[in-house]
Amino acid sequence: MTSSFSTVGLIGRRGTATIRDSLEIVLKLLLEKGVKVVVEADTARIMGNGRRKDRDRYERAARLELGERADLIVVVGGDGSLLGVGRDLAHCGVPVVGVNRGGLGFLADIAPEQIEAALGDVLAGRFREEDHFLLHARVMRDGAEVAQSPALNDVVVHQGGMARMMEISLWIDDEFVYDQRSDGLIIASPTGSTAYALSAGGPIMHPSLDAIVVVPMFPHTLTSRPLVVRGRSEIRVSVGGSDQNARISCDSQVDFRLESDDDVVISKYETPLRLIYPLEHSFFESCRSKLDWASRLGGGSE
- Active site (catalytic) residues: 79
Q: Residues 6 or more apart from 94 whose CB is under 8 A from it?
A: 9, 67, 70, 71, 72, 73, 274
Give CA 162 to chain center in angstroms: 26
Give CA 14 to chain center in angstroms: 15
Q: What is the 3-state secondary structure (H, E, C) of 99-146?
A: EECCCCCCCCCECHHHHHHHHHHHHCCCCEEEEECCEEEEEEECCEEE
Cα–Cα distance between 205 and 195 in angstroms, integer?
11
The answer to whether the CB of 151 falls within 8 A of the CB of 195 is no
Q: Which of 49, 32, 36 is nearest to 10 (CA)?
A: 36
What region does 142 belong to: left with phi over 0, alpha with psi -120 to 50, or beta?
left
User: What are the Cα distances from residue 156, in Å, to 186, 195, 203?
Assistant: 5, 12, 16
Identify the three-state secondary structure at position 168.
strand
Cα–Cα distance between 92 and 90 in angstroms, integer?
5
